[in-house]
């Protein structure tokens, strides 16, 4: 899949939404995942985007809210859209092809990269999407939650879809460069320890356990195997190996009754003074 696409080209369409707070929360859910195109079809309050509650709940996404467009009907909102996904938890006998959010995100982004207009359509809080609205769409997306209670809040449903889209988008290595994990923010990527460094650490650790009589070298039981397995599982970084080896050296030093080099020097000097 060629994915030099922008998530901001994907439209989120809310049909007949009644709670201003939900519209604000939707804007926030979208912006956190990189989506920006919000379309409102017949909102209960046509000025909902200026509503105090919508503004408050949109938080840092007031730009998305401010740029939202209002449409008189669903076909109007889908005028430039070639592939539309209707979000609904209600399964109908004669509904559109059914997908989950992950499948829909994969297909939607693929179509977007081919130049198609793609939209995800969400129903009103109380009534959801009507049969007619559902059938205007090409696919039905069902979020497979708890079968005993699977009716998500509108903004949370938008969040799940937006997240699925973003994960799919990030699968493309070119887009992935923008992820900033904490270790990258510091500007210093962690260096993993080599297998040899980890084996040397393990041997040092075993030697120390013997030095403090934690294990009997003649009968180590399963301890060494467990330790080896644990160290392999953790995927240690080079600095972590250095830190642990420094600690083990000190334990050994204390166990053998040796002093730190600078302490040894100091006590030698004080003996000289006598
Ligand atoms: N009471 C409504 C549900 C409204 S929830 C009903 O029975 O249909 C508001 C919107 O969130 C829904 O219209 C739908 O677009 C979306 N949604 C909520 N839960 C969902 C789910 N499990 N799968 C797909 N969409 C869901």
For a mutational test of ligand 1's pocket, the pick from 127, 141, 152, 162, i.e. the residue with the most ligand atoms closer than 8 A to its C-beta, is 152
pLDDT number for residue 274: 54
Tally the residues of the chain: 274
Q: State mean pLDDT over 40-54.
A: 97
Locate the ligand 1 atom nearest the alpha carbon of residue 150 and give its number: 22
Locate the ligand 1 atom nearest the alpha carbon of residue 15 and give its number: 13
pLDDT number for residue 140: 97
Between the CA of 86 and the centroid of ligand 1 the distance, in Å, is 10
- Per-residue pLDDT for 36 more than 80? yes
d(CA 143, CA 172): 24
pLDDT number for residue 185: 58
Task: Tell me the three state secondary structure of residue 240.
Answer: helix
Locate the ligand 1 atom nearest the alpha carbon of residue 123 and give its number: 13
pLDDT number for residue 174: 75
Cα dihedral sign for 100, 105, 110, 113?
A: positive
- Per-residue pLDDT for 39 more than 90? yes
pLDDT number for residue 1: 47
Between the CA of 130 and the centroid of ligand 1 the distance, in Å, is 11
Between the CA of 151 and the centroid of ligand 1 the distance, in Å, is 5
Which of 176, 90, 163, 183 lies closest to 120 in space, CA to CA?
Answer: 163
What is the DSSP code (8-state) at residue 82? S
Locate the ligand 1 atom nearest the alpha carbon of residue 126 and give its number: 1
C-alpha distances (whole Å) from 217 to each of 48, 224, 253 are 75, 10, 19
Task: Output the residue whose Cα is nearest ligand 1's atom 18.
Answer: 152
- Per-residue pLDDT for 107 more than 80? yes
Phi, psi (rounded to 5 degrees) for 216:
-95, 115
Between the CA of 31 and the centroid of ligand 1 the distance, in Å, is 21
Chain segment 115-130, per-residue pLDDT in tens: 999 999 999 999 999 9
d(CA 59, CA 112): 29
Q: Please state the pTM of the whole predicted model.
A: 0.74
Between the CA of 27 and the centroid of ligand 1 the distance, in Å, is 17
Residue 182 in contact with residue 189, Cβ under 8 Å?
no
Residue list, ligand 1 pocket, CB within 6 Å: 87-90, 122-123, 125-126, 128-129, 141-143, 145, 150-152, 154, 157
- Per-residue pLDDT for 273 more than 90? no
Locate the ligand 1 atom nearest the alpha carbon of residue 145 and give its number: 22
Chain segment 158-203, per-residue pLDDT in tens: 999 999 999 999 988 677 765 555 555 566 677 899 999 999 999 9
Q: Is 63 exposed, middle or buried (0-12, 13-18, 19+ CB in 10 A)?
A: exposed
Chain segment 249-269, per-residue pLDDT in tens: 999 999 888 877 777 777 666
pLDDT number for residue 33: 98
Task: Output the residue whose Cα is nearest ligand 1's atom 11.
Answer: 154
Locate the ligand 1 atom nearest the alpha carbon of residue 144 and give its number: 22
Between the CA of 90 and the centroid of ligand 1 the distance, in Å, is 8
Which domains occur in the chain, in start order? 7-174 (3.40.1280.10), 195-273 (1.10.8)
């Amino acid at each position: 899949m060629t994915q030099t696409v922008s998530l901001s080209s994907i439209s989120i369409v809310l049909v007949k939404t009644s709670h201003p707070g939900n519209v604000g929360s939707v804007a926030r859910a979208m912006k956190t995942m990189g989506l920006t195109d919000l379309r409102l079809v017949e909102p209960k309050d046509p000025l909902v985007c200026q509503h105090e509650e919508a503004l408050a709940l949109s938080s840092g996404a007031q730009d998305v809210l401010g740029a939202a467009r209002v449409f008189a009907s669903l076909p109007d909102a889908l005028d430039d859209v070639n592939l539309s996904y209707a979000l609904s938890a209600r399964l109908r006998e004669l509904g559109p092809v059914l997908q989950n959010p992950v499948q829909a995100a994969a297909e939607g982004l693929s179509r977007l990269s081919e130049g198609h207009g793609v939209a995800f359509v969400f129903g009103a809080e109380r009534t959801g999407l009507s049969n007619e609205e559902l059938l205007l769409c090409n696919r039905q997306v069902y979020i497979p939650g708890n079968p005993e209670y699977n009716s998500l809040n509108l903004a949370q449903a938008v969040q799940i879809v937006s997240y699925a889209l973003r994960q799919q988008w990030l699968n493309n290595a070119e887009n992935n460069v923008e992820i900033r994990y904490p270790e990258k923010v510091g500007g210093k990527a962690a260096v993993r320890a080599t297998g040899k460094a980890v084996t040397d650490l393990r041997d040092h650790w075993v030697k120390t356990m013997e030095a403090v009589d934690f294990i009997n070298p003649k009968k180590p039981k399963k301890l060494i195997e467990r330790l080896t397995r644990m160290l392999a599982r953790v995927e240690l970084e080079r600095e972590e190996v250095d830190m642990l080896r420094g600690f083990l050296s000190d334990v050994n030093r204390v166990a053998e009754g040796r002093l730190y080099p600078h302490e040894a020097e100091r006590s030698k000097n004080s003996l000289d003074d006598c």
